[in-house]
Each structure stands twice: as structure tokens, then as C-alpha cells.
Amino acid sequence: MSTEAASMPPTPALACRGLVKRYGSTTAVAGLDLTIAPGQLYAFLGPNGAGKTTSLRMIAGLLRPDRGEVTILGRSLAKDPIEAKRPLAYVPDDPVLYGKLRPMEYMEFVAALWAMPAADARPSAESLLQGLGLWEKRDAYIETFSRGTKQKLALAGALLHAPRLMLLDEPLSGLDAAAARLVKDLLNEFVRAGGTVVLTTHVLDVAERMAERIGILRGGRLVAEGRLGELCEQAGQAGGTLEDVFLRVTTAEPGR
């Protein structure tokens, strides 16, 4: 029995089946199929309007798909939304935080949303604010923060309830070099500890260095998917860079 259990594949951190989203006559996402195993950092790439953010928002439960299903750690987002959302965190590209709250008040609200016990939440919040260099700003209103500082606070809020799957839309935009390095280290550590990250980025270098697997979206379809080496082979660019693959896949005539 135990041998049988050990040989079973682990429950995917994220599984999407035939996700479709249309806005009027425009199809933003046209049948996305995706399975991501736990402990991976997955990067979504694609030109502007490819459907990256729409896909992430459907996975986060913020947009209702017209068709298809999302499963998070084995729980269906449509059938069991509360339990499916419990291990999930999402940071949009331009996070909306409460301008007239202080960082600890924001963290307290996030902890309450995920029903964290105060005894665990408070030390975690303090530790995250210290780790992300926000402790000195703990008495200031969030409206006085720069974009990068707000981005770091949103990330601290996302990490507070110890999620197992993080969805990050352009997590490094607006960050200076030191802050970007800090965030990258933090994400790598999160993945090493068994967490799963799905991020979108326009910085191919970030995807190339950090992601275990990469998916390239174009016109709402996943046109290439796999490890970097596999992508190069799929695109006939063996030994090439991710940039070569990206340009080839996203600028090729449809059908080729």
C-alpha cells in the first residue's frame, strides 16, 4: 500500500483544463491547458495582450472563466472555492493597497482574511516587514510609499499566510536592483521550501535564470511550453537563448 502511494504522482499544485475567457468578440484566453507540479517556479511569457494577466486572474478566482476548470492542489476552484483559495496568494502588477493604513494594519487585515491566529500572524508579519526592509516605515501611511515599496508590502502580505501556490503578475516591475535581488532570493527560497510560483514577466532574463519551466502565450493560446532546452528544441533553436525562442514563437505566422 505504502509502495503504491509512493509511486503515485504528487497532486499538481495547479491544473488548468480548457480555460477560455472572451470579452465580447475578443478571445483573451483560448483553451489553456496547464499542469504545474509542486515546488516549481513557472514563468508565463508573451507579448502584450497575450492573455497572461487574464489567465492569472482566472486562476486566482478573480475572473470567471467562460469554459474550463482550475484545480489548486487537488481542489476545484469552481466547486470548493474557499478551500481552493486557502493555500493561494496573488500579487497583481499594480497592487491596490489601502493608502490610509499603516503596514501592520494592512498585514493584520490580510491575516484576518486567511483566518490566521494572532499569535502566529503578528510575529510572521514583523519578520516579513523586517526581511523586506519595511520595518523602518511601519509608522507611515502606505500612501507615502514609492511604487517599489508598495510592491514589497504586497509581497509581504502575500507571504504572510504561508501559501503553497503564489501567483505573481510582473513581480519585479518598479523595484530597484537591490529590491529585485531580494525578491528573487525570497522566491527561490520559497520554491526550495516546496512552494510553487507562477509568475508573468516581460524580462526574459528573469525567466531564463529563475524558472524551471516556461510557457509562452500568444493570442490566448499556449504556443510553447517546457524547460528552456525543450523550448529551444521545439522552436528549432537548439543552443539558442530564450529571446531567440520567444521572438521565433511569438512572431511566426500562425500555423507554422
Partner 1 sequence: MRPLALQLWTVLHNDVRLLWRELLASRWSLLGNLGLIAILLALAHALAIALCVHAPHPPSLHVEAGAWLFFGFIMLGTAMTQATTLLFERADFHLLFAAPTSPHAVLLARMTALVAGSALSVGLLLLPVIDGLIAGFGLHYAGSYLVWVELAGLAAAAGVGFTLTLVRWLGARRARTTVQVLGALCGATVYLGIQAPGFLGEAHRPTAERLIDQIVANPLSLALARGGRGDWHTLLLLGASTLALLAATTWLLSRAFLEGAQETTSRPTRTHRREYRHHWRQSLAWVTFWKDLRLILRDPLLLSQILPSILYLLPALLGLYTTLGAATLAPLSVMVAGQLSSQFALVATAGEEAWDLIRMSPAPERRLRLAKMAAGMALPLALAATLCLALALAGRPGLALASLGIAGLCAAGGAWLQISHVRPSPRHDVVKERLKNSPGRLFGGMALMASGATAAGFYAHGNWFGGGMALAVCLVGFAGILALVKLRALVTPD
Residues at the contact surface with partner 1, assessed by CB under 8 A: 60-64, 81-83, 85-86, 88, 90, 92, 96-102, 104-105, 108-118, 121-122, 138-141, 143-146, 157
In whole angstroms, the minimum distance from the beta carbon of 127 to partner 1 comes to 14
Rank residues 30 and 203 by Cβ distance to partner 1 and give the closer one: 30
In whole angstroms, the minimum distance from the beta carbon of 7 to partner 1 comes to 32
Rank residues 60 and 204 by Cβ distance to partner 1 and give the closer one: 60
In whole angstroms, the minimum distance from the beta carbon of 38 to partner 1 comes to 19
The answer to whether 151 and 171 have CB atoms below 8 angstroms apart is: yes
The 3-state secondary structure of 139-177, one letter per residue: CCCHHHCCHHHHHHHHHHHHHHCCCCEEEEECCCCCCCH
Rank residues 66 and 69 by Cβ distance to partner 1 and give the closer one: 66
Rank residues 54 and 237 by Cβ distance to partner 1 and give the closer one: 54
In 3D, which of 39, 16, 42, 32 has the Cα closest to residue 227?
A: 42
In whole angstroms, the minimum distance from the beta carbon of 14 to partner 1 comes to 14
E strands, 74-121, are: 75-76, 88-91
The answer to whether 235 and 249 have CB atoms below 8 angstroms apart is: yes
The answer to whether 167 and 60 have CB atoms below 8 angstroms apart is: yes
Q: Which helix (H) or strand (E) holds 23?
A: strand 14-23
Rank residues 143 and 176 by Cβ distance to partner 1 and give the closer one: 143
In whole angstroms, the minimum distance from the beta carbon of 16 to partner 1 comes to 16
